Amino acid sequence: DIVMTQSPDSLAVSLGERATINCKSSQSVLYTSNNKNYLTWYQQKPGQPPKLLIYWASTRESGVPDRFSGSGSGTDFTLTISSLQAEDVAVYYCQQYYSIPITFGQGTRLEIK
């Protein structure tokens, strides 16, 4: 299984400041034949299902604010929120779909400082 490890486990950032969440996979999730990273980011608020933010590591889902961006390749990935808003308080998960079983990171809790 590919193990996804997120850091930090929790993060407190001031409103309007940048938030950065990291995700490391135990093996590469870059599929060389199409040069795509099989990596997704989700946002989950209490009592709600996860919401897709970013797929293919850096493609923003339709309707997701452009303050959310994804970067990285191979085994190291980052989700960046450029200017934190109050509504961004949530738990964020990365997920790989390079191989079965599909696996998720343990989650990063983002709070307001």
Partner 1 sequence: QVQLQESGPGLVKPSETLSLTCTVSGGSISSYYWSWIRQPPGKGLEWIGYIYYSGSTNYNPSLKSRVTISVDTSKNQFSLKLSSVTAADAAVYYCASHIGGLAAAGLDFWGQGILVTVSS
Binding site for partner 1 (CB under 8 A): 1, 38, 40, 42, 48-52, 55, 61, 93, 95, 97-98, 100-107
Q: Are 60 and 80 in contact (CB under 8 A)?
A: no
* Torsion sign (Cα): 68, 15, 24, 91: negative
Nearest to 77 by CA among 100, 59, 101: 59
First to last CA, the chain: 35
CB nearer to partner 1: give 15 or 102: 102
CB nearer to partner 1: give 74 or 104: 104
Least separation in angstroms between residue 37's CB and partner 1 is 11
CB nearer to partner 1: give 59 or 80: 59
Least separation in angstroms between residue 106's CB and partner 1 is 5
